[in-house]
Amino acid sequence: EAEVAQSPRYKITEKSQAVAFWCDPISGHATLYWYRQILGQGPELLVQFQDESVVDDSQLPKDRFSAERLKGVDSTLKIQPAELGDSAMYLCASSKGGAGELFFGEGSRLTVL
């Protein structure tokens, strides 16, 4: 069964350092999402791509976060510099588009010390 792949699964970094997460969606899925899930809360959408174009990044803290999906396939989410409040699970999801089902990866857990 096809899955959304994410790496790394765990990342520990010190504040002010740079960190990057990678996501490979299910083949053929045009829409890709990055969500942030703080412990005890629900996932919050950071950025949504349709192919290589950004559809929604209204909740992305653009002074330190960036995301790209250059060839419309895999995607990278970067944080620079990391802050203590960035400690969270970063989830990637993909879908065929529209109101179709979102398929989530297992997430990348970030701890900022």
Partner 1 sequence: AQSVTQLDSQVPVFEEAPVELRCNYSSSVSVYLFWYVQYPNQGLQLLLKYLSGSTLVESINGFEAEFNKSQTSFHLRKPSVHISDTAEYFCAVSPSRGNTGKLIFGQGTTLQVKP
Nearer to partner 1, 50 or 81 (CB): 50
Nearer to partner 1, 69 or 105 (CB): 105
Strand ranges across the sheet with 19-24: 5-7, 19-24, 75-79, 65-68
* CA 9 – CA 62 distance, rounded (Å): 24
* Site membership for partner 1, residue 77 (CB under 8 A): no
* CA 102 – CA 29 distance, rounded (Å): 10
Residues 6 or more apart in contact with residue 101 via CB below 8 angstroms: 95
- For partner 1, which residue of 91, 108, 110, 112 counts as binding (CB under 8 A)? 91
Residue 25-54 contact track with partner 1, rule CB under 8 A, x = bound: ------x-x-x----xxxxxx--x------
Encoded tokens for 2: 């096809």
Q: How far is the CB of 67 from partner 1 (least distance, A)?
A: 15
Going by their DSSP bridges, the two strands 31-37 and 103-104 should be labelled as unpaired
Q: How far is the CB of 101 from partner 1 (least distance, A)?
A: 5
Give the residues lining the site for partner 1 (CB under 8 A): 4, 31, 33, 35, 40-45, 48, 55-56, 91, 93, 95, 97-107
